[in-house]
Amino acid sequence: MTLVALTPDTIFALSSNIHVLPIVHGSGDMAHTVREIILSRHVDCVGLPLPPSVQTLVEQGVDQLPVVSLVVLPEREDDDDTSSCSYVPIDPCQPVIMGIRAAVSEGIPRAYVDREVQRYVPISWVGPDPYTLKSMPLATFSAAMVPFLPPPQPQSSRWERICWMAFRLHELELDFHSILFLCPITDWPWLRQAYRERMPYVSPKQRECLPAWWKVEPASLYFVLGELPYVTQLYEQRREEARSDTHLSIDGIKELVLEARSQWLASRSATIAQESNWVTPQLLQRYFQYVRNLTLLEHRLKPDLYTLILVAQQMAGDEFALKLLETSKTYRYQTQPSVLDFRPSVLMGIGELQDPGGEILRAVNRLQGDPLVWRSITLRPIPPTPKKQSWAHQWNPYRQCSWPPEDHRIESFAAHVRNQSRNILGADLTRVERFNASLEDGIDLRETLRQWAIAPQQSVRDIHVKVVPPAKGTIEALVFFFEVPADPHTFSWRTTWYAEHQEESTLSFYATPFAANMIGPGIGEARYGGALFLFPPRLIPDIWENPALNFATSLEERLLAGACAHSREPYVAVVSPVPLTSVWRKIAHRFDRKLVPIPLHRFSGQTIARLRRFHVLNGHDIRSYAARFIRE
């Protein structure tokens, strides 16, 4: 952005000595603009829209950045005897704080010109996204907002503050010749009017209570910072590395998603090493397009946290959305040693503050950007370990059933795999014939060209066609191997489940023990290592206790032996991440069966991950509330 908009003949000039810089609170883009202007112009005083009583503590807090803190001003009690306060967040992405930071580094005096009030009345106003300043002059941006700004009411606290600030600027003009005043954009037109018309002012009263300086708990940073905590951390990293942060408000969102993806992959790799990653660059491209579209529908240029999490849940599932949420709240500087370690810490919420004594106060942000609102989204977090242990101790070992939506999903997938297996059987029966009277199932170009190359001197060249006879038989037994080789210690739970109705298969499997991962009362989560589906269902002996299958030396061999032993059809389909081994073929030959191989990588990693994870319920009555705890 150029500085032409800040010359004395512009709308920002109150006089030859005073320039007003309209700012939008809580914006990293606006903070960047403030810093660039202060560092590029000759300024001998920076005016700030804060009362003088907070100057000492605010500048001490700025000196401790990047550790975030609050300067809290107690206020008189409400009519309902509820305590309240206002606070100044020491946030590196706040334009006012950036102005103080830049002025201190350049040795420029600061003037706190706001009026002392016993009760601060906030202004609820949603402005345009300051990211517009990347392609629009500040003068155009500010002038376009004038018709939409909420005017102050006569004799109101806000009007008295505006008149007092105008008076203080007249006073500063006597001592300084180049004053830059950081004025909230909501007050700018009326401050200009009050300055030029020399509106009468009301002198402030002495504050009854002194302000306090407190540290912010890391869990509460989202309610204090103008940008996401992770994006704010990136701003501080760029500052340390002396790198440009011009477009960081958008690029930081991309870095946030990529960091969440890296942490998500790291958390999965220890338990699902052979499962492919479905959050691919192509998926991320569609993710950002979806985020952009939703953001534009809300008339914004930068997405908020709700949009990021909503799209992550819809495109990658609850697990990735939770990891993105955790990453967005990361601000590593808050745990660094500082003077603030000896200060009490506070917890924050929307419009609330819990002081170090545990009292809940109504709190108003004096540098509030867009108002914060609650928006609901259903994410099922991982329960804490003590609660998991409590649920495991309450488990009744004589009651056990499955979760019907998962049964329907995996049965549909098994039916799809059986259809593919039948197509493979038909492909094995394909033969090539010389064309006589019918094209049969189409011309075989490969064989035709091969014959032409063998006998190029023939005057009449034959055409060869494909004949694909219908496949005979069906696939009754279907075997899934998700990890090869399977660790017997990891997949220590082995059992056979029988169908509840004729639409389910008889299921034998080995999996992780569900008791080690309780996700709700009476709800355990396990992960398949391998499974055998027998459809139509019928009663069979438990393959894990059948002594006739004791020749098998591994989990895969025993599961495959059970499939070959109980299949009434000559073909057994095997879905595996590795090619069929000679041992598996010998087992099939032992029972006079043939194996139909299907590579596991033919199916998407996200599909396989959803199918592998299943839940065990401690009785049919658990099904009435299981959906509240099971993550899809």
For 266-296, b/e burial (b = at least 16 CB within 10 A) is eebeeebeebeebbeeeebeebeebbeebbe
Which residues pair with residue 22 across a beta bridge? 183
444, 446, 452, 454 alpha-carbon torsion, rounded to 10°: -130
The Cα–Cα gap between 181 and 96 comes to 10
Question: Does residue 473 surpass a pLDDT of 90?
Answer: no
Residues 132-150 have a mean pLDDT of 86
Q: What is the pLDDT of residue 121?
A: 87
- Predicted local distance difference test score (pLDDT) of residue 5: 43
pLDDT of 590 reads: 92
**Cβ-based neighbour number of residue 438 at 10 Å:** 9
In order of 383, 513, 516, the CA distances from 392 in angstroms are 13, 11, 8
- With 0-12 / 13-18 / 19 or more C-beta atoms within 10 angstroms meaning exposed / middle / buried, residue 461 is exposed
Is 314 exposed, middle or buried, given 0-12, 13-18 or 19+ CB atoms closer than 10 A? exposed
Other beta carbons within 10 angstroms of residue 338's beta carbon come to 17
Confidence at residue 233, expressed as pLDDT on a 0 to 100 scale: 94
Question: In this structure, is the dihedral angle defined by the CA atoms of residues 609, 610, 612 and 618, taken in order, positive or negative?
Answer: positive
Predicted local distance difference test score (pLDDT) of residue 466: 76
Q: Cis omega (within 30 of 0) on the bond before 536?
A: yes
Range with the poorest average pLDDT among 87-91, 121-125, 495-499, 594-598: 121-125
The pLDDT-based confidence of 462 (bands split at 50, 70, 90) is: confident
485: preceding bond cis by omega (within 30 degrees): yes
Range from 47-56, 400-409, 451-460 carrying the lowest mean pLDDT: 451-460
Distance CA 526, CA 239 (A): 46
Distance (Å) of CA 621 to CA 305, 399, 441, 617: 37, 10, 54, 9
| pLDDT reported for residue 576 | 92
Alpha-carbon span 264 to 280, nearest angstrom:
12
Between 163-177, 380-394, 449-463, 495-509, the lowest mean confidence (pLDDT) is in: 449-463
Indicate if the pLDDT at residue 601 is higher than 90: no
Answer whether residue 436 shows pLDDT above 80: no
Residue 557's contacts (CB-CB under 8 Å, 6 or more residues apart) are: 583, 584, 587
Nearest alpha carbon to residue 158 among 355, 297, 340, 364: 364
Q: Is 285:311 a contact under the CB 8 Å cutoff?
A: no
Distances (CA, A) of 274 to 529, 574, 601, 604: 11, 17, 10, 13
Half-sphere exposure of 45 (CA within 13 A, CB side): 21
Distance CA 142, CA 192 (A): 13
Q: Is residue 405 within a helix (H) or strand (E), and if so which, with residue range?
A: helix 404-428
Tell me what pLDDT residue 216 has.
92
Query: Distance between CA atoms of 323 and 312, rounded to whole angstroms?
Result: 10
- Contact of 591 with 499, CB cutoff 8 Å: no
User: Region 410-435: what's the mean pLDDT?
Assistant: 79
Residue ranges of the domains in the chain? Answer: 4-223, 242-330, 401-425+473-628, 432-467
Over the chain, what is the mean pLDDT?
87
| Residues 31, 8: Cα–Cα separation, whole Å | 22
Residue 377 in tokens? 């989204």
* 3 state DSSP class of 130: helix
Q: What is the pLDDT of residue 112?
A: 95
91-100, 226-235, 341-350: least confident range:
341-350
Looking at the predicted structure, is the pLDDT value of residue 423 above 90? no
The closest of 516, 544, 549 to 616, measured between CA atoms, is: 516
Closest residue by Cα to residue 160 from 119, 124, 125, 196:
119
Predicted confidence (pLDDT) per residue in 289-312, tens digit? 999 999 999 888 899 999 999 999
What's the pLDDT score for residue 272? 57
Q: What's the pLDDT score for residue 81?
A: 62
- How far apart are alpha carbons 181 and 103 in whole angstroms? 12
More confident residue, 443 or 410: 410
pLDDT of residue 602: 86
d(CA 296, CA 290): 10
Q: Are 350 and 223 in contact (CB under 8 A)?
A: yes
Select from 476, 543, 540, 535 the least CA-distant residue to 501.
535
Rounded mean pLDDT of 533-542?
91
Q: How many other CB atoms are there within 10 angstroms of residue 23's CB atom?
A: 27
Supply the pTM of this predicted model.
0.77
pLDDT at 277 over 80: no
Q: How confident is the model at residue 442 (pLDDT cuts 50, 70, 90)?
A: confident
Q: In one letter, which amino acid is 78? A: D
Asked if residues 45 and 180 have their Cβ atoms less than 8 Å apart, the reply is yes
Higher pLDDT, 492 or 462: 492
Least confident of 83-87, 303-307, 395-399, 461-465: 461-465
Q: Which pLDDT band holds residue 38 (cuts at 50, 70, 90)?
A: very high
CA dihedral 12, 13, 17, 21 (to 10 degrees): -10
- For the chain, what's the residue count? 632
Q: Is the dihedral of CA 32, 37, 39, 40 positive or negative?
A: positive
**The token pair that represents 622 in the structure block:** 């658990």
Question: How far is 48 from 51, CA to CA, in rounded Å?
Answer: 8
Residue at 477: amino acid letter: A
